[in-house]
Every structure is written in C-alpha cells, then in structure tokens.
Amino acid sequence: MIDCAGIDLKEIEKDLRDIELDPSQINGIVITHGHEDHICKDTFKIASRYGIPIYIHHDTYQVIKERYWVKNHQVKIMHHTEKPFIINDIKIMPFKTFHSGGYVGKPFGLRIEYKHKGSRHKVGLLTDTSKVTDSMVRMLYDCKCLIIECNHDRELAQVRSPNQSTWREHLNNEAATEALIKIKNGSTDSLALKHVFLAHISERHNKPRTLINRISNGIRKENITGCDLMLTYREKRTQVKKIL
C-alpha cells in the first residue's frame, strides 16, 4: 500500500474488502512524505491492527512521529533511504520530488517493479511535486501504469487563489501533460502508460472535464495513443485495474 490517510480507518477497511483484499494480506505501507493526507493516526492504527510494517524515510519519520504516533500501538517501522528496497518480491525505487511546507519531511515519488509469469512490470507514482526534472522522467520510463498528479489548472488557480502558495507546490495540468509526453517518448515498451491515473485533483482549482480534455489534446498532438486516462477521487474509491 502506498500512503494511508485522508479517510477514516473503517472506510479504509471497507474499501480494501470491497476489492476482495483483506488488510492482513498487506505486506507494507510505503509513505511518500509526511503531510496528513498521506500519513495520519489511522495509518498507525491499521498498521498495528494488522501487523503491517510502515516503510518511511528516516527524515520524514522524525518529523511526524510525535504528531501521529498512537500510544499503545505496536508498529514495525522500516526506515529506507533514496536507494531501492524490497518488500517480498516487489522492488521499490524512490526518487526525489519537490514539495515543501508543514510536516513534509523528505518527499519521494516511486517506481515499483515486479515479475509476473516471467515478465517484469513497472508502476510509477508521481504526486506532490512542484516540478518534474529529466531524472524524474527517466525513472518512469516504461511504466505500464502511472499515477500522476494533476492538481490544478494554472489559470483557474491564479484567478481563484492568487495569493495562496499551496497550489504552487503541486503539478498543474500542463506540467503533467508535458511529463506524460516525455515519459512516453522516452520509453521503449509499447505498453508504457497504458493505464494513467490522474491524481490529487483540486476541487477548487481544477475541473475534471477541463483536465481530461487538456491532457487528451496535449498527448494527441504528439501522436501518442493507447493511454487510458482515469480520474481518481478522494471521497470515493477509484476504478480498480489489474496490471499484469
């Protein structure tokens, strides 16, 4: 599981069981950074209840441990660095992102690799960053599935919240589109970006229809096809895809 917050514990348990996944089957919760929509007290509660280790960078843990730690809950904390690490047969490759404010700690994006029937598959996570560098793009080459932040429409955010700095810490629709184009064009796997989940969408500073149109038109201009664009939601479960 990547991050675990934003909804209460009962909803987390229900959503997992709705997709026929018992929480006790989860082998680890990997935390990308310390903001409360990614880690909170319920993260420690579910980890304690089901014996799930929490994988978190040492710097992030130092920032959040007193704020979110729940007394009398025994949780195994696994500190990682910027180097790849293994959870069972899944390889996790963190890479630096650019995000600040509050209890952020040390933020990361992730590339996740696993084998299925002899073939290696890659899934990428790129959220909570103000920019995408070339090295970040290279980390996401050949990912069949990518969860990418499309937080705001820049023009709408500037009109509605010109003096607010929060939205500037996140990817806008144009930056996300540019990143998708670079990732697809740099990949050698024809199935790269087959499944693209558009994530961390601001209710105030974005509109789903505007977002889908902006990205669809942007990648189409570059003759990129075969990308299934899917919206994600904070208040309800997102569409589930098997990536094999």
> How many Cα atoms sit within 13 Å of 207 on the Cβ side?
7
39's tokens = 């880690």
pTM of the predicted structure, to 2 decimals: 0.94
Regions of the chain where pLDDT drops below 70: 70-72, 244
What is the predicted pLDDT for the residue at 176? 98
Which residue do the tokens 């290279």 mark? 138
| Confidence (pLDDT) at 70 | 61
- The angle at the Cα of 72, spanning 71 to 78, to the nearest 5 degrees, equals 80
Contacts of residue 148, Cβ cutoff 8 Å, sequence gap at least 6: 124, 126, 127, 171, 176, 179, 180, 196, 197, 198, 199
Is the CB of residue 36 less than 8 Å from the CB of residue 5? yes
Q: In what order do the strands lie in the sheet with 119-126?
A: 85-87, 90-96, 108-116, 119-126, 145-149, 195-199, 228-231
Instruction: Map residue 29 onto helix, strand or coil.
Output: strand
- Beta-carbon count within 10 A of 163 CB: 4
204: helix, coil or strand?
coil
In order of start, what are the domains of the chain with their CATH numbers? 1-82 (3.60.15.10), 117-244 (no CATH)
| Partners of 30 in the β-ladder | 2, 55
Distance of CA 142 to the CA centre of its chain: 17
Interior/surface letters 201-221, b for 16+ CB within 10 angstroms, e for the rest: bbeebbbeeebbebbeebbee
Report the C-alpha gap between 228 and 215 in whole angstroms.
11
